[in-house]
Every structure is written in C-alpha cells, then in structure tokens.
Structure 1
Amino acid sequence: MNRVDALKALVYAELPIAQAIARMSEFAWDSEEYVVVLTPENLERVLTLFAEGSITRSDVESWANALECRDDLALSEPVVSEVLFELANPLLTHALSPERVYHLLSVVKHVG
C-alpha cells in the first residue's frame, strides 16, 4: 500500500483504526505536498461510527492524533481543523460524550 492509499484508508476510516494507523507508520509525517484532504464528511463518518458504537472513544482520539499536524494532509475548512484538534486533545478541550458527538455532528453537517 502506498502513502496515498494508506492515508485515504485512515482518513476515510475504511479499516479498523489501529490497522490504518499501523499502515501509516510506514510513512513519515513530513511531506512536500498534500496528498489527501480531510473534509467535514470524513469527520462526520468517524463521529457517526462512534455514536453507533462501532468505534471507541480511544479509537476516535487515536484517529485524530494520527491525522493532526500531518504535512501530507490538507484540511478543507477551518472548522475541520477545530474539530480535529478537539478530538485529538480531549483533556484540553471536551471529553467525547454522546452529547458532544451530536453537537460536533451538527457543526460539521452545517459547514459550507
């Protein structure tokens, strides 16, 4: 799997989160160009998976930490950056709870 495919699998949450993160560990965080764009729809997918019980709070935090600050990942909107930061840093922002997830889902669904 190349860098683009591995990053897409992580961004799109196509694989189990731990497996997608493991695949990304083969590639450096540094990059000269963006190869994938993180969108509100990607955030919505991960938040929905959590709300449905398909992934854990820890999975969401790990997913966000694996994406935050990557040089090869563009963020489509300022709100994507804000939500990603919150998900990656629950001790600094908000703990992920069902109520918070529904709030964040409403935020990302109304972007644009």
Structure 2
Amino acid sequence: MNRQQALQQIIAFGEQRDAAVMALAKFGWDPSFEVISVDSHALIVVLTKYMSGVISADDLELWANFIECRDELDYSEIDGYIYALADPELMGGISLTTIEKMLTLLC
C-alpha cells in the first residue's frame, strides 16, 4: 500500500485502515507529497458511519485529529467541522444529535 492509498483508506474510514496506519508509519517525511483533499463528501461518509453505529464517538474524534495533523491533507472546505470533531469537549461533545445537525448542514 502506498502513501496515497493509505491516506484514502483512513479518510474513508475504510476496512483496511489499520493496515493503512501501519503503512504510513513506514513512510518518512516527503517534502514533495501530493495534497489530497478531504471534502464534505468524505465527511458525510464518516459521519454516516457514526450515525449507523459502525464507528464510535472516540473513533470519530481520532479520525478528525488524524485529518488535522497530516500535511498531505487539505481539509479547508470542512475545517470547522474537523475542529469541532477533534475537540469535542470545547464544542459540546459528539452525540447523535450533534452529528445529525452537522449532516443536516452538509446535505
């Protein structure tokens, strides 16, 4: 799995995300990386997984923190949502109600 494939697995909270995390750990810092956009569609996919019970609030918070910390990811389109998910204690927490509101705003 290359860097882009690994990042795509994590962005989509795919079935191979654990292998993707392991693969990313093997790559050093590369100043010539290609930027990957994390857009509202990607966010909707992950939020829907939370609403369906596929992932937990902790998973969602960890995912948002990952998105924030990777230089290869451009999440400027959804930066407010990522901030709220990465710092839930500052934003009222992650719950079915708050995520449903986010989805309503996104759709």
TM bucket normalised to smaller: 0.7 to 0.9
Structure 2 gap ranges (5+): none
User: Cα deviation per residue 1:6-59 (whole Å; 9 max; x = unaligned)?
Assistant: 001111121265554444333457744443110101111111101011111111
CA RMSD in angstroms, aligned pairs only: 2.1
- What percentage of aligned pairs have identical amino acids? 32
Q: Which TM-score applies when normalising by structure 1?
A: 0.81
Spell out the pairing of 1:1-112 with structure 2 (5 A cutoff): 1-15=1-15, 18-27=18-27, 31-75=31-75, 77=77, 80-109=78-107
Give the number of aligned pairs.
Answer: 107
Q: Is the 8 A contact 1:32 1:72 kept in 2?
A: no
Q: Output the amino acid matched with 2:4.
A: V
Higher share of residues assigned helix: 2
Structure 1 gap ranges (5+): none
Runs of 4 or more above 2 Å deviation: 15-35
Q: Output the amino acid matched with 2:88.
A: P
User: Cα deviation per residue 1:58-77 (whole Å; 9 max; x = unaligned)?
Assistant: 11011111111321001251
Q: Is the 8 A contact 2:67 2:75 kept in 1?
A: no
